[in-house]
Amino acid sequence: MSHHFTESEERRELRKAVAALGARYGERYFYAAAQEDRKTTELWSEAGKLGYLGVSIPEEFGGGGGDIGDLAAVCEELAIAGCPLLLMVVSPAIVGTVIAQYGTQEQKERWLPPLADGSQIYAFSITEPDAGSNSHNLTTHATRTADGWVLKGGKTFISGVDEASHILVVGRTSDQRTGKLKPALFMVPTDAEGVTWQQIDMGVISPEKQFTLFFDDVHLPHDALVGSEDAGLEQLFAGLNPERIMAASMATGTARWALNKAVAYAKERDVWGKPIGAHQAIAHPLAQLHIDIEMARLLTQKAAALYAAGDLMGAGEAANMAKVAAGDVAARAVDTAIQTHGGNGLANEYGLVQALAASRLSNIAPVSKQMALNFVAQFSLGLPKSY
């Protein structure tokens, strides 16, 4: 029986290497790209070449053959360095997992290697204006034709459409027998005729943007359908655990980044003849953050370990709990770091005020805090469903 609470030696080496890459970029690079309307292409392709983006993709499709915990470690380390890459949650974690698990051999050969080496990015779209948290209300749907499918509908808040070669779209097909709409997943090229999008004016400072998407009778070949038409929901859920584990890791990374900045400042800044960090009103919130970040990381690593071991329900529970813990601590860490910096907390030079909106993101997307709490209330506590 193993008694290890720490990650494997291999995982820790991976973290060190990714941290070194992140240190060469950092938040100045990230914010400059956002403000100058550039992308994080250099960082993304370097991470791809080094095998970090594809670390959890099977080796036979150009990946590293690791698990979601490895990919989460990459995402967390880059966030600690000040580069929280939202598209890591989307492209390798959600889309990569769904294709690797449910794609045909041909689909895996076609789509996974460029994802793993970073040469292609895939967006993921489920959210719709009139469905939101309630995916039972999705209306985007595909109709079968002689030569494939015709997709109609729209999505909102979809990240990275402008950078993506394809979008994995959660739509529905109508069941000929029952007339019911069933969820189904489609890979849609962003340059297909009938696909248009519009950037949403967001307050989040990031090179990665959000879009409203429109599918106006988009013709797709038969093999745009990923996985079976009859196992839509199960396939969708396959991507949800990785999504939550990744979102939690990005949040704990952001929290650690903010805490590191606050601690450094509290050791330096001296207005009463000793550093402000000597005052417990400054020191204790930082110590508490250190504890709470560690708790959120442990839960996240537990979720990743359960997922790798094939315990999907156990992983789901831990991943939802981790996401709530991590989302809260990310928001509090950025807030506390700003307070620790006094006026400088709101000066652009210190790089914290820019993270304020992003620090709220983990409690909203990819799934809101309330929906994660609903899961824990119903699944862990057996409370009745309210909706």
Ligand X SMILES: Cc1cc2nc3c(=O)[nH]c(=O)nc-3n(C[C@H](O)[C@H](O)[C@H](O)COP(=O)(O)OP(=O)(O)OC[C@H]3O[C@@H](n4cnc5c(N)ncnc54)[C@H](O)[C@@H]3O)c2cc1C
Cβ 366 to ligand X, closest distance in Å? 5
Cβ 372 to ligand X, closest distance in Å? 9
Measured at the CA of 301, the angle between CA 305 and CA 97, to 5 degrees, comes to 60
Residue with smaller CB distance to ligand X, 159 or 241: 159
Cβ 270 to ligand X, closest distance in Å? 38
Residue with smaller CB distance to ligand X, 157 or 265: 157
Percent of residues in the chain assigned helix, strand, coil, to nearest 5:
55, 15, 30
CA distance 54 to 76: 15
Cβ 320 to ligand X, closest distance in Å? 13
Residue with smaller CB distance to ligand X, 301 or 354: 354
Cβ 358 to ligand X, closest distance in Å? 8
Residue with smaller CB distance to ligand X, 255 or 282: 255
Cβ-proximal residues to 298 (8 Å cutoff; 6+ apart), any chain: 5
Phi, psi of 223 (to 5 degrees): -85, 15
Residue with smaller CB distance to ligand X, 56 or 127: 127
Q: Which of 4, 92, 1 is nearest to 305 (CA)?
A: 4
Residue with smaller CB distance to ligand X, 68 or 263: 68
Cβ 159 to ligand X, closest distance in Å? 3
Point out which residues bind ligand X (CB under 6 A). Answer: 90, 124-127, 132-133, 157-159, 204, 210, 361, 364-368, 370-371, 374, 387
Cβ 373 to ligand X, closest distance in Å? 7
Residue with smaller CB distance to ligand X, 86 or 306: 86
DSSP string, 266-316: HHH-BSSSSBGGGSHHHHHHHHHHHHHHHHHHHHHHHHHHHHHTT-HHHHH
- One-letter amino acid of 208: E
In the bound state, the residue with its beta carbon closest to ligand X is 132
Cβ-proximal residues to 360 (8 Å cutoff; 6+ apart), any chain: 331
CB atoms within 10 A of CB 299: 23
